[in-house]
A = this chain, B = another copy of it.
Amino acid sequence: MKTVLSAPRRAVRGRGEGAEARIVRSIGEAIADRRLAPGTKLAEESLAEVFGVSRERVRKVLLLLAQRRVVTLIPNRGAFVAKPTAREAREVFEARRVIERAVVEALDRNPRPLPDEMSAKLRAHLAREEEADRAGDRMSLIRLSGQFHLLLADFAGNATLAGILADLIDRSSLAIAAFERRSSHSCSATEHRRFVEALESGPPGAAMRLMMEHLDEVERQLDLDARSDGAVDLKSVFADRT
């Protein structure tokens, strides 16, 4: 019997079983962090070179990401960072409200005060968000903001639901990247803190209201008017130009 159970033969960088998962995470995070804008082409060869793996492996990864709707696969054209339509964006946020409502309901059923571990982790997370906010680290802030919602889902104890929400959060990031208004940004960190405080010591239902308002607020910061969707109306774009 082999004595080594974990971390078997993984000497070569980029190889090994977990390589695909690593690349999926890597690309997924790059998209969530908005370092890859919607519509960006993801050429197989380039990615293969970047990650030091063969093209087929990249191909597999792209297929997985396409399944999660974070990448769009166009036959004979290649893979592109998904560019959600306004309708899809609205649907994603609606879906999030549906799921997160259930999450918060479950959390709000916890006896007060909250379990120590939960409280501690939430507050630790808030601290990191606020730190990123102070430092002006916008990228970290975006990622942490998503992780906050995921953390809540984990506490709700339904891994299936949490997995679904994880996908929806990634797609939210895409929607935000695609439809964010130029000027705007209310601080998620602040709203998250208020939510946690309501969860810990607010009246029943207060946390829920804050969460719904938070999600509404995030969606409201997007420009989801019909014209943003599909083909742009060139006439109106150049209307008042000479």
A residues with CB within 8 A of B: 17, 60, 63-64, 67-68, 75, 88, 91-92, 94-95, 98-99, 101-102, 158-161, 164
Chain B nearest CB: distance from A71 CB in Å?
13
Sampled A-B contacts (7; CB under 8 Å): A17-B75, A67-B67, A92-B160, A94-B158, A94-B161, A98-B101, A99-B99
How near does chain B come to A161, taking the closest CB pair, in angstroms?
5
Task: Give chain B residues whose Cβ lies under 8 Å from the Cβ of A161.
Answer: 91, 94-95, 98
Task: State the copy count for this chain.
Answer: 2
The reply to whether A160 and B91 form a contact with Cβ atoms under 8 Å apart is yes
Residue of B nearest to A88 (CB): B160
| A180 nearest CB across to chain B (Å) | 20
Contact of A64 among B63, B91, B102 (CB under 8 A): B63
Q: Which residues of B contact A64 (CB under 8 A)?
A: 63, 67
Q: Which residues of B contact A95 (CB under 8 A)?
A: 158, 160-161, 164
Chain B: which residue is nearest A157 at the CB level? B91
| Contact among B17, B75, B98 with A99 in the assembled complex (CB-CB below 8 Å) | B98
| The 5 nearest A-B residue pairs measured at CB | A91-B160, A98-B102, A67-B67, A95-B161, A91-B158
Residues of B within 8 A of A67 (CB): 64, 67-68
Bound CA span A60–B91, Å? 28
Task: Knowing that A67-B68, A94-B160, A94-B161 touch, tell me 11 more A-B residue pairs with CB under 8 angstroms.
Answer: A17-B75, A60-B63, A63-B64, A64-B67, A88-B159, A88-B160, A91-B161, A92-B160, A95-B160, A98-B161, A164-B164
State the Cβ distance, A86 to closest chain B Cβ, in Å.
13
Which B residues lie within 8 Å of A102 (CB)? 98
Q: How far is the CB of A49 from chain B (nearest CB, A)?
A: 23
